[in-house]
Amino acid sequence: MAETTEPVEVSISDIQNWLDKGVTRCIDDPGYRADLESIQEKYSLTKTEVKALFQDERLKGLRTNRASRIIIIEDKVDSEPVAGAIPSRRVTQPIEAPTQEEDRYENDQDSGSSVTDQGTPEMEEAGEHLS
C-alpha cells in the first residue's frame, strides 16, 4: 500500500458495522476473509495507522464479530418414536459469537482486572460506578 499524506475520513459507524459483519482490522489478522477485505484495505492504511485508529476512545476495545460455525441441535424427540425409524433432528438455534461486552469481560479477566472495577458502559453513561 502506498503511503499518502492526504487525510482519510473514517466513519465510526462504518467501522462498527464492518466489525459486526466480520471484517477484520488488518489483512494478517486471524479470521481475515479476502471477500470482505479488512479495514486496512478499505481505507488504504498501514498497519501502524490502523493501530492508531483503534486507540480512539470510540473504537478502543471493539473487536471483529466472528460468526460461529457450530449449531446445537435438539436430539430429544417429543413424540413417541416409530419402531425402526431414525429420530429426526431439528435445529434449535445457532451458537452466537460472544458480544463485544462478553469479549471485553473475558479479556479483562485475562488481564486481572474486572468489569466490576470499571462498571459497564451503560452505568458509566448514567454516572453510576460499582464500588
The pLDDT profile of the chain, 131 residues, written as one tens digit per residue, is: 455 678 889 999 999 999 988 899 999 998 898 888 999 999 999 999 999 999 999 999 999 887 766 677 777 766 665 666 565 555 555 566 666 665 555 555 555 544 444 555 555 555 555 54
Is the residue at 93 inside a domain? no
Closest CA to 62 of 27, 110, 12: 12
- H-helix or E-strand containing 116? helix 115-118
**Alpha-carbon distances, residue 93 vs 68, 78, 90, 96 (angstroms):** 12, 17, 9, 9
How many domains does the chain divide into? Answer: 1
Is the residue at 5 inside a domain? no
What domain range includes position 59?
12-66+98-123
Is the residue at 56 inside a domain? yes
Burial class (CB in 10 A: 0-12, 13-18, 19+), 119: middle
